């Protein structure tokens, strides 16, 4: 059987896009240097290594470890403080970057100040087992590996023998201290780095809507796909936030609206798109308070198909885009974990439903945990199939009970193992299209090409196998 030439050409083209994109990424990752010390150290230890040119470097590990309070979240934030010194004292102008150890995705980037310190906050999921710390001082590069297990703060002092020179003559058009090659906005001194939260996979957020009464724990009353990314300035502070929100499922009979609380003030641009991807509504305004931002209107307007029953095929809901330019740069820690304080208002009952860990009663009890210590909201850091109507989260995901009964210490990636007889097949039927669409929606060309590349490789493999079987 002959392979359809057009299909094969498209597959090769898509695969080629993936390969070229991947090669370009690798090339950009090591523009002019070789990485040095990759030894991993534990809290309270001091290790020695070398820069890319052989200069001795001593790293003192002051990380803080321990277990965080369990709040039914599948990601955590870690504060970062990296100090760079040499024989003359604090080093001003060293570029500090923290990346995921597997994907190379940037989680933080900032330049040390006059005190030699670069500070910020990163967010990690169970998939971020190791991180790469890369420090560029002039033409010198220092690398360290960080294990994220039970780490609450990353505190490192890096001492370089001799006198470090941060002046390399490398192009920096906007003069913010981040070279053009590593600057996402090389001509904008107010922005330097794009960070996707908690990762490029985004989140699926699922709510129960019977608050304050306990729900049926199927977590499909209101389900939304969320992508967040922030722009950091050269000091590692947040200057802009963007979000894409798509309504995925509505298993409840109630109506809901989706809202977001953020600290600070700033300008908001918000667009709601219809089922054909056309702008339906747009708002552009300055707000002195970023509390109670309506992200999605009434749920009966944004999804005409429940997407929760067996035998149903997935049908897409409307989506919205939000961009906020903060009035003042903000510490990343002020935002908290993605998806931040994203909540629903239940129109029929007048109640709000928030994540646990954000609001407390006078006696210290969590307002959004029921009498059994169970939440009304969950966020899952990847594409995810929610439970069918009448199927509980424990039936759909057998490791869920182990995770929450162990207060998050066991089976932290419970969401990776589903009982498919109890879950709606969103990922199976809609994930590839959603990934590609999301790449266009959030402006990530790399993400789009990656999805196309995977599609091309899969199609090429399929047709080769089909041809082989036919010839035999």
**pLDDT digit string (tens) for 1-13?**
333 444 444 443 4
* CB-CB contact of 344 with 285 (8 Å): no
pTM score of the predicted model:
0.81
How far apart CA 356 and CA 368 sit, in angstroms, is: 5
How far apart CA 394 and CA 401 sit, in angstroms, is: 6
Give the list of residues 6+ apart from residue 30 with CB closer than 8 angstroms, or none: none
Q: Nearest 5 degrees, angle CA 199-CA 154-CA 339?
A: 30
The helix (H) or strand (E) run that includes residue 120 is strand 117-124
The CATH code belonging to domain 35-187 is 2.60.40.10
Distances (CA, A) of 461 to 3, 428, 465: 12, 19, 6
* CB-CB contact of 282 with 271 (8 Å): yes
Task: Tell me the domain boundaries of the chain.
Answer: 5-28+447-471, 35-187, 201-441
% of the chain residues with pLDDT over 90: 70
How many angstroms from the chain centroid is the CA of residue 277? Answer: 24
Give the list of residues 6+ apart from residue 224 with CB closer than 8 angstroms, or none: 204, 205, 245, 246, 247, 248, 258, 296
pLDDT confidence of residue 428: 62
**pLDDT digit string (tens) for 184-225?**
999 999 999 999 999 999 999 999 999 999 889 999 999 999
How far apart CA 28 and CA 30 sit, in angstroms, is: 6
Give the list of residues 6+ apart from residue 448 with CB closer than 8 angstroms, or none: 436, 439, 440
> Which residues on adjacent β-strands are paired with residue 47?
59
pLDDT confidence of residue 45: 85
pLDDT confidence of residue 377: 97
DSSP string, 412-430: TTGGG---GGGB--HHHHH
How far apart CA 209 and CA 198 sit, in angstroms, is: 25
How far apart CA 218 and CA 343 sit, in angstroms, is: 17
Q: What is the pLDDT along the chain (472 residues), one digit of tens a residue?
A: 333 444 444 443 444 444 334 443 333 333 322 333 344 567 878 889 888 889 999 999 999 998 888 899 899 999 999 999 999 999 999 999 999 999 999 999 999 999 999 999 999 999 888 999 999 998 889 999 999 988 999 999 999 999 988 876 789 999 999 999 999 999 999 999 999 999 999 999 999 999 999 889 999 999 999 999 999 999 999 999 999 999 999 998 899 999 999 999 999 999 999 999 999 999 999 999 999 999 999 999 999 999 999 999 999 999 999 999 999 999 999 999 999 999 999 999 999 999 999 999 999 999 999 988 899 999 999 999 999 999 999 999 999 999 999 999 999 999 999 999 999 999 864 444 444 444 434 444 444 445 555 555 554 544 454 444 444 4
pLDDT confidence of residue 164: 87
Beta strands in 218-310 (DSSP E): 222-232, 238-249, 256-261, 266-273, 279-287, 293-296
> What per-residue string of b and e applies to 114-153 under the rule 16 or more CB within 10 Å gives b?
eebbbbbbbbbbbbbeebbbbbbbbbbbbbbebebeebee
pLDDT confidence of residue 51: 87
Distances (CA, A) of 344 to 63, 334, 451, 465: 37, 21, 31, 48
Q: What is the mean pLDDT of the chain?
A: 85
């Amino acid at each position: 059987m002959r392979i359809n030439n057009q299909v094969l050409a498209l597959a090769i083209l898509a695969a080629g896009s993936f390969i070229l994109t991947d090669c370009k990424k690798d090339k950009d990752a090591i523009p002019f240097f070789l990485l040095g010390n990759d030894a991993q150290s534990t809290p309270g230890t001091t290790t020695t290594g070398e820069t890319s040119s052989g200069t001795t470097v001593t790293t003192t590990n002051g990380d803080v470890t321990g277990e965080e309070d369990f709040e039914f979240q599948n990601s955590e934030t870690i504060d970062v403080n990296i100090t760079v010194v040499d024989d003359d004292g604090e080093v001003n102008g060293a570029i500090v970057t923290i990346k995921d150890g597997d994907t190379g995705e940037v989680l933080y980037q900032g330049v040390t100040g006059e005190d030699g310190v670069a500070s910020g906050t990163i967010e990690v999921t169970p998939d971020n087992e190791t991180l790469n710390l890369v420090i560029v001082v002039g033409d010198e590069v220092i690398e360290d590996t960080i294990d994220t297990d039970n780490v609450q703060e990353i505190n490192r002092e890096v001492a370089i023998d001799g006198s470090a020179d941060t002046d390399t003559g490398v192009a920096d058009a906007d003069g913010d201290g981040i070279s053009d090659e590593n600057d996402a906005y090389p001509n904008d001194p107010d922005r330097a780095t794009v960070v996707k939260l908690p990762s490029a996979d985004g989140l699926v957020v699922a709510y129960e809507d019977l608050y304050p009464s306990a729900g049926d724990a199927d977590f499909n009353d209101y389900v939304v796909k969320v992508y967040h990314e922030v722009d950091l300035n050269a000091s590692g502070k947040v200057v802009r936030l963007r979000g894409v929100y798509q309504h995925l499922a509505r298993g409840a009979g109630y109506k809901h609206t989706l809202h977001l609380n953020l600290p600070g003030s700033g300008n908001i641009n918000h667009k709601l798109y219809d089922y054909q991807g056309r702008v339906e509504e747009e708002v552009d305004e300055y707000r002195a308070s970023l509390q109670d931002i309506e992200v999605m209107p009434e749920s009966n307007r944004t999804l005409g198909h429940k997407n929760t029953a067996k035998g149903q095929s997935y049908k897409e809901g409307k989506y919205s885009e939000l961009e906020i330019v903060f009035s003042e740069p903000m510490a990343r820690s002020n935002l908290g974990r993605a998806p931040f304080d994203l909540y629903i208002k239940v129109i029929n009952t007048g109640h709000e439903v928030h994540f646990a860990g954000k609001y407390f009663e006078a006696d210290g009890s969590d307002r959004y945990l029921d009498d059994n210590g169970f939440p009304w909201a969950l966020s899952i850091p990847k594409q995810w199939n929610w439970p069918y109507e009448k199927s509980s989260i424990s039936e759909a995901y057998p490791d869920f009970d182990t995770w929450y009964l162990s207060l998050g210490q066991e089976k932290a990636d419970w969401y990776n193992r589903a009982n498919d007889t109890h879950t709606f097949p969103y990922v199976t039927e809609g994930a590839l299209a959603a990934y590609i669409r999301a790449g266009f929606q959030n402006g990530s060309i790399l993400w789009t090409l990656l999805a196309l590349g995977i599609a091309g490789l899969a199609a090429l493999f399929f047709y080769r196998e089909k041809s082989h079987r036919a010839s035999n």
